[in-house]
Structure 1
């Protein structure tokens, strides 16, 4: 396999990862958490949740830095070429499609609200279609455009959010925010699951961007200084704005920050630059699922964005929280399996990594174990009236990690016995 050109410094990588978090879904997440938690507990959940995300990103990202390959290619060693193509790449592709749809939906709604100020009314579906096509057209130009768009969007969105925070704090006192109590209750475990789910795909596919970095330490610094500050800041801003304006509709809240044009531009840039990343990574995953040559990545990127746009037209935004809960349970166990294989079985030595053709049942079984245990309670919680156990979001990762070490030993023993019998014959 051709190795990526590795000339990316850690600041550039940190900007890409921070840019993925300086986004509208992060603000929505803040509103979701504070609807069931105090402000202090919301910030604590954000800090713990993104610290866990950073750990996953470091272990995942370094693998791709060592090998100069994206996540789905690195995964071929532990899941096999067919296993990586069908299951892992499929999950990543579906997640990116869903995220693209959510972002395009938010952008479409914001643009509709903006046009209403001037007496122009268009359907949200048409607006979502328009912006979805603009976003995916940009995405086909790859990592360079992602960086440029991030350099513009991130500072602007941060400035608008900080101004909105300042504006909000002039209407309420700090003591009122501290004493705020939600009308419903959200447990820490559920909050962490939602937080992990909001960036589960980003953590697992960290290698898609760290493959361009030459040193392991670049990944560590980029994750710590790019993810935690940006993530906690955005959740905090989203929570405060929700408390102050008594409205979890970020489009409506942003229209009150400065002028409508200022707020809408922030929403458009924020969703745009994240959707470029969603389409780019989704295109890589789609290439792998259907074994499409890398030279057609622009085409597959466009297809991911097109399908995501259709989801936006259908109103996928209405399923934001359930989608994040399920993704937060199913996707992180992938990192558990890959970390066990690379860091324990192969001792973090890139020279011991090798392509495994076909399907590697030990990797898929380990992922299936962790994903099932983590996901079933989440699905049960979506059905009214059904009691369900509370599962810590790390449970799936730990089970997959340990499961692989056990299944891999059994697989190696079985293979060795089969080879020995063949020699005897």
Structure 2
């Protein structure tokens, strides 16, 4: 009995999600929206807000978030069709051992976000309440382990928190943006504001896309629970285009009106300090639990263990340690890293599924996969190099080049294999 119930209790970390465990659009939408409602995303919006006029800013935010939504939705569709998350798809794409590369990259980025969110909550709580500075580290430890409680429970815990937190955050955001619009002098006042910083449109779109691309790449951890590909696509677009778009828009509004990108600072300026603290707590918790859940899923694949709950607690411990060591100061270089080296993973997985496997993965449990899938690994390296050296929108270049490279390398490999077989046949 235990062996039958363990995968369900652990949210199927090493196997496809069966159809009788799939979730509705309503359920999935709440979980994904809770994930994308993230304080750090406002930083990207704030940086864009001070660099463009109002209409151009809206165009940049809309384009960046639409591209992010489409990227995440394609991966979400594959996850719903196969019941697999990104970590498990990587076995088909990069090989049994090669997939550990994506586990390390994705796991590291997610635990980095967890550390940043934990540090942010502790530092800002001390700042807003006037607590002694000596409380900062103990609060980091408290939040570091407290935020992981709902992730420890699994999908059900994430959903329950999001059903409460998402509507509350939407209401708080609506109140704040209404006040901001009024303080700016209405729409005419917003249109009259001139940029105070310089940034190219390509750089701005890269920033918006790259800020949450690691989350989009691992949203498959929840879209694999979707009842259909259509459900996964709609829920993902709702979260990453509208939800993430709303967060970047709030940051841009704050930068325009108050010269602040953080929603907490904005609410303090509006006289809503208490609501600001509540907003911060809900905002971070609904992302933190999803983030450490992502780490646990990648960790389970890397270690080949079903003990997701144990890996979750381990991830929380690592994230807490990084927070105490100063992760709060590393955000900007961390974002550059995410936007460059993560999107090519998604690009290769898409190409592998649609081109390599013709939209039909074999049974993972019954299939002997190679230790290293050379076409997949080669395509990832090429895509990452292209993204790193690109003067244009690096994440998009990484996805496109990685996907195209996979198709080309696969074609060449098949040609070499056929030629070798012909030569051996004539010997």
Per-residue deviation, 1:91: 0.8
1:338 equivalent in structure 2: 349
Per-residue deviation, 1:227: 2.6
The alignment's TM-score, normalised by the length of structure 1, stands at 0.89
Aligned mates of 1:217, 1:391 — CA distance in 2: 28
Aligned mates of 2:181, 2:398 — CA distance in 1: 40
The alignment's TM-score, normalised by the length of structure 2, stands at 0.89
Task: Select which of 278, 281, 300 maps to 2:311.
Answer: 300
Matched, 1:57 2:72: yes
3-state secondary structure, aligned to 2:183? coil
Task: Select which of 326, 337, 345 maps to 1:315.
Answer: 326
Per-residue deviation, 1:274: 0.3
**Maintained 8 Å contact 1:28/1:250:** no
2:247 equivalent in structure 1: 234
Aligned mates of 2:220, 2:397 — CA distance in 1: 23
After superposition, the C-alpha distances for 1:2-48 in whole angstroms (9 at most, x for unaligned) are 43133211222122222222221222221122132233222222211
**Maintained 8 Å contact 1:98/1:316:** yes
Per-residue deviation, 1:371: 0.8
2:289 equivalent in structure 1: 276
**Maintained 8 Å contact 1:77/1:355:** no
Aligned mates of 2:361, 2:39 — CA distance in 1: 37
**Maintained 8 Å contact 1:100/1:278:** yes
Per-residue deviation, 1:214: 2.3
2:403 equivalent in structure 1: 401
Q: How do 1:84-163 residues align onto structure 2 when only pairs under 5 Å count? A: 84-85=99-100, 87-116=101-130, 121-163=133-175
Aligned residues: 409
Task: Select which of 320, 337, 342 maps to 1:326.
Answer: 337
1:177 equivalent in structure 2: 190
3-state secondary structure, aligned to 1:170? helix
Per-residue deviation, 1:367: 0.8
2:11 equivalent in structure 1: none
Per-residue deviation, 1:277: 0.5
After superposition, the C-alpha distances for 1:86-110 in whole angstroms (9 at most, x for unaligned) are x111110011011111211221122
**Maintained 8 Å contact 1:30/1:234:** yes
Q: How do 1:71-82 residues align onto structure 2 when only pairs under 5 Å count? A: 71-82=86-97
Aligned mates of 1:36, 1:303 — CA distance in 2: 41
Task: Select which of 41, 47, 54 maps to 1:26.
Answer: 41
Matched, 1:4 2:17: yes
**Maintained 8 Å contact 1:76/1:355:** no
In structure 2, do the counterparts of structure 1 residues 277 and 424 end up closer, same or farther at CA, with 3 Å as the change threshold?
farther
RMSD across aligned positions (CA): 2.3
2:233 equivalent in structure 1: 220
**Maintained 8 Å contact 2:384/2:398:** yes
**Maintained 8 Å contact 1:3/1:69:** yes
* Mean Cα deviation higher: 9-18 or 357-366: 9-18
2:4 equivalent in structure 1: none
3-state secondary structure, aligned to 2:398? helix
In structure 2, do the counterparts of structure 1 residues 319 and 177 end up closer, same or farther at CA, with 3 Å as the change threshold?
farther
2:10 equivalent in structure 1: none
Q: Mind listing any 5+ residue stretches in structure 1 that lack a counterpart?
A: 378-388
Per-residue deviation, 1:360: 0.6
